[in-house]
Structure 1
Amino acid sequence: MQQNQRFSLEQAIERNPLIVNPDKPLIEVVQLMSQGWRRICHLTQNDLGIDDSTILPSHSSFALVMQGEQIVGIFTERDMVRLIAAGKILQDTTIAEVMSLEVVTLKASEVEDVFTVLSLTCDRRIRHLPIVNEENQLLGVITTEGIRRALHPTEWLRFRRVEEVMSTEIIHAPPTVSVLDTIKLMVKHHVSCIVIVCENEGLVDGHQQTEVNVSPSPLLTPIGIITERDILQFQKLELNLERIQVQEVMSTPLFLIGTDESLWNVHRKMLSHRVRRLVVAGSKNELRGIITETSLLQALDPTEMYGVLELLQHKVKRLEVERSELSQSYTEQSQLYQQIQTSLEERKRIEKALREEKNLVSTILDIAGALIVVLDKQAKIVSFNQACERITGYSSEEVKNQQIWELVAPEEIKTSTEVFEHLQRGEFPNQNQNHWVAKDGSRSLISWSNTCLMDDDGSVKYIIATGIDITEKKQLEEELNRFFTLSLDVFCIAGFDSYFKQINPAFEQILGYQKAELLAKPLLHFIHPDDVAATLAQIDKLSRGVKTIAFENRYRTKDGLYKWMQWSATAYEQLIYAVARDITEYKHSQAKIHEQAALLDVATDAIMVRGLENQILFWNQGAQRLYGYTSAEILGKNANELLYRDSLPQLDEIHQVLFHKNYWKGELHQVTKQGEDIVVFSSWSLVRDEEGNLKSMLIVNTDITERKKLEAQFLRAQRLESIGTLSGGIAHDLNNILTPILAISQLLPLKLPKVDEQTQHLFNILETSAKRGATLVKQVLSFARGVQGDRTVLQVKHIISEIQQFASNTFPKSIEIEVTLPDNLQLISANTTQIHQVLMNLCVNARDAMPQGGTLSIQAENIAIDENYIGMNLDASVGNYILITVSDTGIGIHQETLERIFEPFFTTKEQGKGTGLGLSTTIGIIKSHGGFINVYSEVGEGTKFQVYLPVVHTDEIIQDRKAEIPQGNGELILLVDDELGIRDITKTSLENHNYQVLTADDGIEAIALYAQHKNEISAVLMDMMMPEMDGVTAIRTLQRMNPQAKIIAVSGLSTSDKVNAAISNGAKLFLSKPYTSEELLRKLLTVINPHPL
Structure 2
Amino acid sequence: IAGAIANALLFRRHEEAEIKIKEQLNFLWVLLDTIPNPIFYKDSQGKYLGCNRAWSEIHGLQPEEIIGKTVYDIAPAKLADIYRQKDEELFKNGGKQIYEAKIIRADGQEREVIFNKAVFYKADGSLGGIVGITTDITERKKTEAVLKRKEEEVRLLARENNILAEIARIISSTLKIEEVYENFANEVQKLILFDGLIVSIINEKENKVYFRYSAGLQIPGRMIGDSLPIAEGTAAAYILQKRSALFIQGEALAEIADHFPGLLPFKGAGIRSLIMAPLVSQDKIVGILGFFTKKANAYSANDLRLAERVANQIAGAIANSLLFEDLKKSQEALRQSEERYRSILANIEDGYYEVDLAGNFTFFNESLSQMLGYSKEEMVGLNNRQYTDEENARQIYQIFNRVYKTGLPAKQFEAEIIRKDGQKRNVELSVSLIRNNAEKPIGFRGIVRDITERKKAEKEMVELQEQLRQAQKMEAIGQLAGGIAHDFNNALTLIRTCSQLALLDLKEADPLKEKFEMINRATEQSANLTRQLLAFSRRQVMELKVVDLNNLIREMDKMLRRVIGEDIELVNNLAEDLGRVRVDPGQMEQVIINLAVNARDAMPRGGRLTIETANVHLDQGYVNGHVGVNPGDYIRLTVSDTGVGMTPEVRRRIFEPFFTTKEKGKGTGLGLSTVYGIVKQSGGYIYVYSEPGMGATFKIYLPRIDEELEKEHTGPAELPQGRETILVVEDEKDVRSLIVQILRKQGYQVIEAESGAEAFDACANHEGKISLLLTDVVMPGMSGRELAEKLLSWQPEMKVLYMSGYTDDAMIRYGVLEAGMNFMQKPFSMEALAQKVRQVLDQ
Give the TM-score, by structure 1 length: 0.25
TM-score (norm 2): 0.32
